[in-house]
């Protein structure tokens, strides 16, 4: 039987559902989750408030998005990549007579990696998520990708997919500003 519960509860030992647990309120319980441990360790304010200002450990983009991200950051004063930033060439590497359609973007990505200290993954060598899982993901870390389905929770890493503007902010040493999320399931 399936039961819909429309309010927060505590699940004990995988089977027992309680409305209360040892006098702990929902805010205290939320702060004691693995997810919040990762988020709070990346929150530059360090306070347990309702707002978070996050700095990521690493970033990644593919060849449809990294040119615009880097050009925007350059126009805003970028001098170096302040965190590991991998640029893969897997989304717009369609075969054409004589090479790939996006070769000029790939040359731009390689030159940016050399100039600013990034990681360049040549065309046809790896897909963005394969590369991230094998080379960048670490337990307890956070990674930001310009791909809507960036996620690596099963590997102990919090992955977030955002638009290019959020990656530009990280390149400029600004924060990812979010409301402290609710805990949906633990």
CA–CA separation, 53 and 178 (whole Å) = 7
Q: Where are the domains of the chain?
A: 10-48, 58-179
CA–CA separation, 33 and 88 (whole Å) = 33
- Architecture (CATH level 2) of domain 58-179: 2-Layer Sandwich (3.30)
Tens digits of residue pLDDT in 134-168: 999 999 999 999 987 778 877 888 889 898 999 99
Tens digits of residue pLDDT in 14-42: 788 888 777 778 788 888 888 899 999 99
For residue 46, count CB atoms less than 10 angstroms from its CB and return exposed for 0-12, middle for 13-18, buried for 19 or more.
Answer: exposed
> Helices 66-75 and 164-171 sit at what angle, rounded to 10 degrees?
50
Query: Which pTM value belongs to this model?
Result: 0.84
CA–CA separation, 93 and 99 (whole Å) = 9
CB distance 142 to 56 below 8 Å: yes
DSSP state of 183: P
Mean pLDDT of the chain: 87
CB distance 56 to 171 below 8 Å: no
Contacts of 186 (CB under 8 A, 6+ apart): 11, 33, 35
DSSP state of 43: B
């Amino acid at each position: 039987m399936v039961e819909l519960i429309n309010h927060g509860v505590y699940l004990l030992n995988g089977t027992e559902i309680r409305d209360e647990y040892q006098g702990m309120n929902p805010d205290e319980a939320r702060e004691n989750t693995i997810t919040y441990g990762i988020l709070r360790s990346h929150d530059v304010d360090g306070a347990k408030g309702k707002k978070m200002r996050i700095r990521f450990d690493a970033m990644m983009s593919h060849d449809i998005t990294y040119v615009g991200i880097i050009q925007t950051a350059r126009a805003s004063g970028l001098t170096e990549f302040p965190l590991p930033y991998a640029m893969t060439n897997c989304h717009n590497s369609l075969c054409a007579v004589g090479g790939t359609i996006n070769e000029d973007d790939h040359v731009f990505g390689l030159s940016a990696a050399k100039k600013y200290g990034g990681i360049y993954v040549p065309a046809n060598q790896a897909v963005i998520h394969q590369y991230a899982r094998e080379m960048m993901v670490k337990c307890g870390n956070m990674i930001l990708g310009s791909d809507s389905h960036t996620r690596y929770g099963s590997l102990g890493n919090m992955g977030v997919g955002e638009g290019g503007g959020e990656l530009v902010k990280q390149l400029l040493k600004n924060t990812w500003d979010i409301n402290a999320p609710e805990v949906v399931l633990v």
